[in-house]
């Protein structure tokens, strides 16, 4: 494999894309460099694989060596980092003040169109905060590109260390370098888009908000939180964003790279609105030139990679998963909301819709379950189907996921891949739209 | 401005580490084994920054007071012996110069110690098997020492030739002279020589049109101070300041630095002790001599090799300082650097700070000069007297020093940053160097992952390194066995209980307690640091590798037992294992 050395001037970054099934190795030869805020170790070798597109940035210049083939690799002199560090310092000053006054630190939500580098900005801001000894909470409200867990979920995680260069946010579920372990708090949403089921989405945001509040009661709120969101195409019509801003008591909205969205949101949340007790700072943030548009196929592959990483580990941290047989009788799979709601006009005259976005229905196991990723919740499974229908499945905490590898209708059992050896605990499983098939 | 950054990066000098290490080195004011061990450890962690570490020690040795040189030399010795690796080849080309420079500036007692250490480089290292440095390096040092010894003998018998080197030697004498009047007899002849020589330089100075101000100020000062010690102190200070300014101009003039150092010591002596009037007058005369001699040093060019145009002093083959001024300019031309001070910057403090830091970058020594300046500025009475004595210099000094005081303005001290509001204008404004808030003050860097902890937070770093160690062990095991299961996420109530609770919980995520050797995990973790410190006397005929992992043991010389020991080792039934491997196998 060929090795190439790249010299980065101060304030420039090396941007690369790696094809799926390819791997590159990067080393820092001299100087200092960061990968989305996380400093590269002078003696470490980093591997980037499977569709990673990223940027190694240097504040004061560095030299790196890159082994392997990138589908795209270049050094860019113009980055958005000057603005990003300013944002960090501004937030960090708010945190410092909050530590003194014992108030809540900055509660930031990052919004913007698709593929504008929202998650990258979140990662940088979180890592910078962690580097300065803060422990901000990361609220991931992007179910499609879920960074902390598998697609289809919302999650909250405390970030007390630099986000792992290779494993990304997935590394947060691994034991932290400070010695103590930390896992995220995860909820199953089951859809890719918030507006596929806004009622459920909002309900889950409420769950996240109250978990955040309780956590901050013990941990302190000064470090604040950073919320990543799904790329909104039409912010004017979106119903989830207002709710999230209110539920999470957002103090600053960072709008990445979109003038129109900024003006719409500034009008909606800005200080001019005197009816709100606390105004929200709406700030336009430049988009990083390194953010690339992802094709639907690419997104699918990235989603698959996230599941792959859940079951087999991300970066250097490998984990093993186990095949387990689960008889249908031991299963309690529930589904929140319904996939396609029939239009109201098709209902008989005078009937109102009984199903709401948060209604719960049991899922009868059949072949359609094959390859689905089911969320294992912390709630014990009810004894019978009747009780199952009455389970309040909205906002059940997810403790892990299983992947259905085979549906055996004859023997009435599922074969699932599980993150824990032995029998699956008799707990409620939540259905979701995510599908994954192990590939070799 | 930031060109220094780019430069230092590409010439292999990690500026942050350099500064941190320099700072650490200032702690080394006596022969302290813990400090030396600690710094050696840091040197080991930063093995791939060996160049930076050595450079830091080198510069430290060059500027520190003579009495602090021995401990720093011991540190170098410890790094060479206990860490080795890259450090050895890097030292080949310069250890001679380092050794001789120290040897020259210290007294007989310390010289004996130096020579004793030199002896261990040849014979004592690893059971006499091989030399620490190649034979030719060691021989060169010995030859130089012998030559200097012979010279010293001569100089006690006859007046020394007043070439540059001897002037330094004489100044060294002058220092101890001011301290020890017992050695007056011998010294006086030397001082007479210096003064005589200086007189001739004085006349040179008067002819020199480039230094018109000097002619004026020298007599002024003489008038003002009379014979009082206070006046003398002022004189020392003013010369010191002038030397500082000269150093700024010629950062690579090593002799200038040496002179500076001596002036510092003379100043301390004058400030600390009562001196009889005739001694005051004597020192005064000598100071004038130094003042004039050195000021003209650059322009004479015949006896002093280093001035602004010649390349800086450095041992040629391995030095990072090979990048002379010309080299730097070449880099500028290559466009590796980008001007930081672009149109956006209007803040004058920032500009000055940047200028200061770029000065610092252009010459490692400048950091020290800055410290020295600060040292002077920290004493109000000195400052006041400076204002009286040399208004121009003191004001220029203040303007240079004060920005460094609140380098927070230089984005180092977070607490002193101006508020940055979350507004468009504020966010759009480029603040060059603001990233330093992420680096300055976070001097401990883990070389494995780049994570930093605060300068003195060694506990956190130890914890962090332990975590790496555990993880590495686990990953090594994973390659042999199966990787651990991910396990289930923590329960919500546990999660909400937060960091406090979490510290007492076993990591439920990646390494669920019941499955992977989790039972003693907690206890193991605690003792890993201790295990790594366990040593076993190296048994004779031992093949040097752990019976479990087959990797070699780290060897360290135990000074109490005066024997080599294996580190992180346990002796079980006559077989030596790594303590950690042995614990891991149970």
Q: What's residue A157's pLDDT?
A: 92
Residue B400, pLDDT above cutoff 90: no
pLDDT above 50 (res B446): yes
Q: Looking only at Cα atoms, what is the longest distance across chain B? A: 88
* Closest chain B residue to A159, measured at CA: B499
Exposure of B30 in the CB half-sphere (CA atoms within 13 A): 2
Please tell me the distance from the alpha carbon of residue B62 to that of residue B59, in angstroms, as a whole number.
5
Hey, which residues does A313 pair with through a beta bridge? A318
Across B145-173, average pLDDT: 59
On whether A408 is known to bind a ligand per the annotation, the reply is no
Rounded to whole angstroms, how far apart are CA atoms B561 and B204? 60
With contacts defined as CB-CB under 8 Å, which chain A residues touch B415?
96
CB A311 within 8 A of CB A321: yes
pLDDT at residue B7 is higher than 60? no
Of B392 and B472, which is predicted with more confidence?
B472
- Which residues does chain B have within 8 Å of residue A281's beta carbon, measured at their own beta carbons? 422
Q: Which residue has the tokens 């289930």?
A: B488
Q: What percent of chain B has pLDDT over 70?
A: 47
As a CATH number, domain A81-285 is 3.40.50.300
B340:A10 CB<8 A: yes
Least confident interval from A63-77, B269-283, B293-307: B293-307
Domain A3-78 annotated CATH 2.60.120.1030: yes
- Under an 8 A CB cutoff, do A60 and B14 touch? no
From B138-152, B406-420, B487-501, the region with the lowest mean pLDDT: B406-420
B283 phi and psi, to 5 degrees?
Answer: -60, -40
Its CATH architecture, for the domain A320-340+355-430, is Beta Barrel (2.40)
Work out whether the CA dihedral B571, B572, B578, B579 comes out positive or negative: negative
Residue-wise pLDDT tens for chain A (440 aa)? 689 999 999 999 999 999 888 899 999 999 999 999 999 998 889 999 878 889 999 999 999 999 999 999 999 999 999 999 999 999 999 999 999 988 899 999 999 988 889 999 999 999 999 999 899 999 999 998 888 889 999 999 999 888 889 888 887 655 444 334 578 899 999 988 888 888 899 999 999 999 999 999 888 899 999 999 987 766 666 778 889 999 999 999 999 988 888 888 888 887 654 555 567 899 999 998 888 888 888 888 889 989 998 998 877 778 889 999 999 988 899 988 865 555 555 656 655 554 567 888 888 899 999 999 999 998 888 877 677 777 888 889 999 999 999 999 999 999 999 998 888 888 899 998 889 988 75
Largest CA distance in chain A: 74
Closest CB to A86: pick one of B9, B431, B484.
Answer: B431
Rounded to an integer, what distance in angstroms lies between the CA atom of residue B465 and that of residue B468? 5
The total of other beta-carbon atoms located within 10 Å of residue A191's CB is 21
- Domain ranges in chain B with CATH number 1.25.40.90: 12-158
> Could you tell me the CA-to-CA distances from A236 to A219, A267, A282, B48 in Å, in that order?
36, 11, 15, 54
Cα gap A111→A234, rounded to integer Å: 12
Contact A366, A372 (CB under 8 A): no
Provide the pLDDT confidence category of residue B246 given band limits of 50, 70 and 90. Answer: low
The verdict on a CB contact (< 8 Å) between A39 and B49 is no
All residues of chain B having their beta carbon less than 8 Å from the beta carbon of residue A32 are 9, 14, 16, 439
Looking at per-residue confidence, does A279 or B505 come out higher? A279
Query: Which of 1.10.10.10, 3.40.50.2300, 3.50.50.60, 1.25.40.90 is the CATH number of B12-158?
Result: 1.25.40.90
Of the two residues B497 and A310, the one the predictor is more confident about is: A310
Q: Provide mean pLDDT across the span B76-81.
A: 87
Q: What is the pLDDT of residue B432?
A: 86
Q: How confident is the model over B337-358, as pLDDT tens digits?
A: 333 333 343 343 443 344 444 4
B488–A400 CB contact, under 8 Å? yes
Distance from the Cα of A440 to chain B's closest Cα (Å) equals 18
Q: In 3-state terms, what secondary structure has residue A393?
A: coil
CB A99 within 8 A of CB A36: no
Q: How many CB atoms lie within 10 A of CB B473?
A: 17
Chain A CA closest to residue B340:
A10
Would you state the pLDDT for residue B529?
55
Q: Regarding beta strands A12-17 and B563-567, do their DSSP bridges make them parallel or antiparallel, or are they unpaired?
A: unpaired
Contact B489 A399 (CB under 8 A): yes
Phi and psi at A42, nearest 5°, equal: -65, -20
- Which candidate from B6, B463, B510 shows the least CB-CB separation from A179? B463
DSSP three-state, residue B290: helix
8 Å CB contact of B467 and A179:
yes
- Give the chain B residue nearest A12 (alpha carbons): B338
In this structure, the number of other CB atoms found within 10 A of the CB of residue A357 comes to 17
- A139: DSSP letter: E
Q: What pLDDT score was predicted for residue A267?
A: 86
Handedness of CA B5, B8, B13, B19 (dihedral sign): negative
Is residue B507 scored above 70 in pLDDT? no
DSSP state of B91: H
CA distance A354 to chain B (A): 31
Rounded Cα distance, A343 and B176, in Å: 99
Contact check, Cβ <8 Å, B340/A419: no
Sorted by where each begins, the domain ranges of chain A are: 3-78, 81-285, 320-340+355-430
Yes or no, beta carbons of B422 and A283 under 8 Å apart: yes
Q: What is the pLDDT of residue B145?
A: 87
CB environment B408-423: b (16+ within 10 A), e (fewer): bbbbbebeebeebebe
CB pairs below 8 Å between A and B: how many? 258
**Residue B581, pLDDT score:** 65
User: Which contacts qualify for A242-245: CB closer than 8 Å, 24 or more apart?
Assistant: A242/A268, A243/A202, A243/A205, A244/A109, A244/A141, A244/A202, A244/A205, A245/A109, A245/A269, A245/A280
Please list every residue in chain B whose beta carbon sits closer than 8 Å to the beta carbon of residue A91: 422
Query: Is the pTM above the cut of 0.80?
Result: no
Contact list, A317 vs chain B (CB under 8 Å): 471, 475, 510
DSSP H/E element including A397: strand A397-408
Average pLDDT on B460-482 reads 75
Task: Check residue B561 and give its pLDDT.
Answer: 65
At residue B522 the predicted structure's pLDDT band, cuts being 50, 70 and 90, is very low
Higher model confidence: residue B402 or residue B242? B242
Considering only the beta carbons, identify the residue of A40, A61, A214 that sits closest to B336: A61
Q: Write down the pLDDT at residue B513.
A: 29
Residue B445, H or E segment: strand B444-445
A116 in a known ligand binding site: yes
């Amino acid at each position: 494999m060929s090795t190439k050395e790249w010299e980065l001037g101060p304030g420039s970054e090396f941007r690369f894309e790696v094809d799926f099934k390819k791997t590159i190795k990067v080393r820092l030869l001299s100087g200092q460099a960061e990968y989305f805020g996380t400093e590269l170790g002078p003696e470490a070798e980093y591997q980037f694989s499977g569709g990673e597109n990223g940027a190694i940035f240097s504040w004061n210049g560095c030299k790196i060596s890159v082994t392997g083939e990138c589908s795209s690799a270049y050094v860019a002199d113009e980055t958005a980092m000057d603005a990003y560090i300013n944002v960090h310092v501004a937030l960090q000053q708010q945190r410092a003040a909050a530590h003194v006054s014992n108030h809540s630190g900055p509660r930031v939500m990052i919004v913007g169109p698709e593929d504008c580098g929202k998650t990258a900005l979140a990662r940088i801001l979180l890592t910078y905060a962690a580097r300065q000894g803060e422990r901000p909470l990361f609220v991931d409200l992007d179910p499609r590109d879920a960074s902390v867990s598998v697609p289809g979920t919302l999650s909250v995680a405390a970030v007390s260390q630099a986000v792992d260069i290779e494993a990304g946010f997935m590394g947060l579920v691994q034991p932290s370098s400070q010695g103590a372990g930390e896992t995220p708090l995860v909820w199953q949403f089951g859809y890719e888009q918030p507006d596929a089921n806004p009622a459920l989405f909002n309900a889950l945001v409420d769950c996240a908000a109250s978990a955040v509040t309780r956590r901050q009661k013990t941990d302190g709120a000064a470090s604040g939180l950073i919320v990543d969101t799904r790329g909104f195409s039409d912010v004017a019509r979106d119903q989830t964003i207002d709710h999230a801003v209110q539920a999470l008591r957002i103090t600053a909205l960072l709008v990445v790279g979109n003038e129109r969205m900024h003006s719409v949101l500034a009008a909606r949340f800005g200080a001019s609105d005197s009816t709100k007790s606390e105004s929200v700072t709406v700030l336009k943030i430049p988009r990083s030139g390194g953010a690339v548009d992802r094709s639907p196929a690419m997104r699918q592959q990235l989603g698959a990679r996230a599941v792959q990483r859940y079951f087999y580990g991300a970066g250097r941290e490998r984990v093993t998963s186990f095949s387990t047989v689960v008889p249908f009788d031991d299963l309690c799979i529930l589904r929140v909301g319904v996939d396609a709601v029939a239009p109201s006009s098709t209902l008989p005259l005078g009937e109102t819709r009984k199903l709401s976005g948060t209604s719960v229905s049991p899922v009868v196991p059949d072949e359609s379950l094959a390859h689905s990723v089911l969320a294992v919740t912390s709630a014990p499974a009810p004894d019978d189907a009747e009780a199952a229908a009455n389970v309040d499945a909205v906002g059940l905490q997810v403790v892990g996921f299983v992947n259905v590898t085979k549906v055996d209708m004859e023997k009435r059992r599922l074969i699932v891949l599980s993150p824990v050896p032995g029998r699956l605990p008799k707990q409620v499983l939540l259905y979701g739209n995510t599908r994954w098939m192990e590939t070799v | 401005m930031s060109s220094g950054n780019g430069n230092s990066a590409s010439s292999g000098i990690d500026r942050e580490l350099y500064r941190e290490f320099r700072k650490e080195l200032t702690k080394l004011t006596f022969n302290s084994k813990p400090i030396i061990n600690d710094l050696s450890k840091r040197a080991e962690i930063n093995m791939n920054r060996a160049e930076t570490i050595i450079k830091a020690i080198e510069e430290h040795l060059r500027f520190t007071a003579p009495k602090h040189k021995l401990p720093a030399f011991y540190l170098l010795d410890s790094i060479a012996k206990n860490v080795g690796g890259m450090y050895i080849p890097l030292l080949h080309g310069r250890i001679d110069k380092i050794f001789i420079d120290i040897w020259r500036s210290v007294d007989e007692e310390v010289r004996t110690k130096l020579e004793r250490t030199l002896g261990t480089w040849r014979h004592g290292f690893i059971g006499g098997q091989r030399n620490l440095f190649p034979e030719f390096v060691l021989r060169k040092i010995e030859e130089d020492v012998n030559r200097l010894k012979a010279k010293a003998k001569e100089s006690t018998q006859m007046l020394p030739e007043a070439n540059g080197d001897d002037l330094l030697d004489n100044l060294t004498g002058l220092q101890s002279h001011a301290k020890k009047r017992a050695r007056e007899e011998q010294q006086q002849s030397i001082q007479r020589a210096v003064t005589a020589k200086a007189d001739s330089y004085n006349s040179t100075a008067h002819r020199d049109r480039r230094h018109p101000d000097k002619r004026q100020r020298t007599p002024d000062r003489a008038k003002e101070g009379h014979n009082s010690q206070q006046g003398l102190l002022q004189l020392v200070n003013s010369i010191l300041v002038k030397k500082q300014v000269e150093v700024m101009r010629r950062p690579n003039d090593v002799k200038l630095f040496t002179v500076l150092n001596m002036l510092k010591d003379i100043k301390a002596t004058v400030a600390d002790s009562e001196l009889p009037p005739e001694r005051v007058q004597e020192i005064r005369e000598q100071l004038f001599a130094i003042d004039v001699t050195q000021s003209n040093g650059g322009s004479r060019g015949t006896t002093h090799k280093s001035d602004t145009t010649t390349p800086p002093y450095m041992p040629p083959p391995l030095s990072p300082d090979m990048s002379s001024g010309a080299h730097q300019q070449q880099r500028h031309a290559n466009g590796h650097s980008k001007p930081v001070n672009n149109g956006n910057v209007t803040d004058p403090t920032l500009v000055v700070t940047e200028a200061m830091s770029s000065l610092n970058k252009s010459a490692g020594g400048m950091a020290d000069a800055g410290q020295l300046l600060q040292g002077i500025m920290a004493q109000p009475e000195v400052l006041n007297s400076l204002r009286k004595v040399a208004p121009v210099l003191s004001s220029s000094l203040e303007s240079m020093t004060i920005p460094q005081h609140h380098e927070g303005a230089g984005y180092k001290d977070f607490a002193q940053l101006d508020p940055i509001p979350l507004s468009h204008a504020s966010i759009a404004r480029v603040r060059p160097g603001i990233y330093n808030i992420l680096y300055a003050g976070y001097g401990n860097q883990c070389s494995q992952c780049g994570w930093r902890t605060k300068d003195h937070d060694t506990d956190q770093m130890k914890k962090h390194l332990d975590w790496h160690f555990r993880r590495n062990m686990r990953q090594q095991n994973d390659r042999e066995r199966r990787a651990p299961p991910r396990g289930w996420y923590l329960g919500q109530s546990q999660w909400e209980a937060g960091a406090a609770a979490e510290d007492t919980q076993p990591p439920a995520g990646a390494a669920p307690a019941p499955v992977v050797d989790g039972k003693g995990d907690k206890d193991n973790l605690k003792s890993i640091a201790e295990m790594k410190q366990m040593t076993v006397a190296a048994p004779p005929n031992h093949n040097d590798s752990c019976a479990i992992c087959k990797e070699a043991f780290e060897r360290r010389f135990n000074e109490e037992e005066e024997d080599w020991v294996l580190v992180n080792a346990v002796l079980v039934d006559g077989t030596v294992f790594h303590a950690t491997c042995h614990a891991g196998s149970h």
